[in-house]
Homo-oligomer: A and B are copies of this chain.
Amino acid sequence: MEGAHPLILKKIVETNEMKTEGYGIDRFSEQAREKIRIACQAPHAEVHFLCGGTQTNSIVIGALLRPCQGVIAALSGHINVHEAGAIEAGGHKILAIPHRDGKIDADQIQKTVNSYQHDLNREHMVMPGMVYLSQPTEYGTLYSLKELQEISAVCRENNIPLYLDGARLAYALACPENDVSLCDIARLCDIFYIGATKCGALLGEAVVIPREGLIPHFFSIIKQRGALLAKGRLLGIQFQELFTDDLYMKIGKPAIQAAKRIREALKQQGYTLFTESPTNQVFCVMSDREQKELNRKVTFGYWEKFDDTHTVIRFATSWATREEDVEELINILKAL
């Protein structure tokens, strides 16, 4: 809802008149890449800056898969629900499997692969070609290190790349319940992105390929898909700042605290939480009456119908959420 984190905006202003090369090979972008490599302990990682989540997902998935391959993902995965069919528009089926609070597990992935491999008609079917996870998930839940290790092991045994969508990764990293570090992700995934659009930047996602060479000609593919910014420095400058003084690791903290307070208040008021997520998203079941009344005072997200008379609504806190806003929301909820 706001613009950029003040430190990021400051940097954009400070560097505004400096001259650089275009298309993301400027010194700011190079510095940002190096800082990300250090934060990931992945010294040979390729880092590419893109503009948004759907763009990143469709380019990465489209570039990784061969024709006839599909991507294993949770039914609730962002790519399966809220990207207007971007993955299919790129030619690939989403092999959607059931989730538990937004998560899938190693066992399900192995079963999906087995089911394909043992099917005598498999050459008439879509081959599982990669796995898509979100951290945190679309329901705000987190994969534990153990879960991620198991998934990574299954993927490597089956020679299937693992891709992690980190649109809101800062909120996972800021979460006390989280035990998965950026280095863990870089070690366990074949490709992932560090989201900034929803974590303090004006826009920007950093695709990280820990072991370079996974996708030949990725720069040209980015250009072809219309995702190469002429002023690529805009992304570089922001990521450079996000990876200075651990800003990216800390930026989600206020959001986590705010979400926790909202969750507690909702429970206290007798509302049902739709999922028990530890991150910055709060999903709450409300009657249509309550929802309508709340809507007169507060802007919130519609998630889905719960039943004929109830709706799941979503509050997403952010790095910019202020304590007084949380107070006010809680007071409104109390008065509902």
The residue in chain B whose Cβ has the minimal distance to the Cβ of A224 is B84
Please tell me if the beta carbons of A3 and B233 are within 8 angstroms of each other in the complex.
Answer: yes
* Distance to closest chain B CB from A313 (angstroms): 10
Give the copy number: 4
Any B CB within 8 A of the CB of A305? yes
Name the interface residues of A81-98: CB closer than 8 Å to any CB of B. Answer: 81-94
Any B CB within 8 A of the CB of A4? yes
Please tell me if the beta carbons of A230 and B68 are within 8 angstroms of each other in the complex.
Answer: no
Chain A interface size, under 10 / 10 to 19 / 20 to 34 / 35 or more: 35 or more
Q: Given the known A-B contacts A1-B21, A12-B3, A121-B82, are A68 and B220 also in contact in the complex, defined by CB atoms under 8 Å? A: yes
Chain B residues with CB under 8 Å of A22's CB are 1
* Distance to closest chain B CB from A304 (angstroms): 7
Cα A231 to Cα B305 in complex, Å, equals 26
Cross-chain contact of A304 among B15, B119, B233 (Cβ < 8 A): B119
The residue in chain B whose Cβ has the minimal distance to the Cβ of A9 is B16
Any B CB within 8 A of the CB of A17? yes
* Distance to closest chain B CB from A187 (angstroms): 28
Instruction: Report A's interface with B, CB cutoff 8 A.
Output: 1-4, 6, 9, 12-13, 15-22, 51-59, 62-63, 66-70, 81-94, 115, 118-121, 123-127, 197-198, 202-203, 216-217, 219-221, 223-231, 233-234, 299, 302, 304-305, 320
- Between-chain CB contacts (< 8 Å), 30 pairs: A1-B19, A1-B21, A2-B16, A2-B19, A3-B231, A6-B16, A9-B12, A9-B16, A12-B202, A13-B13, A52-B228, A52-B229, A52-B230, A54-B223, A67-B224, A68-B89, A68-B223, A70-B88, A83-B223, A85-B91, A85-B126, A86-B223, A88-B126, A89-B225, A91-B91, A115-B305, A120-B302, A123-B219, A202-B231, A203-B231
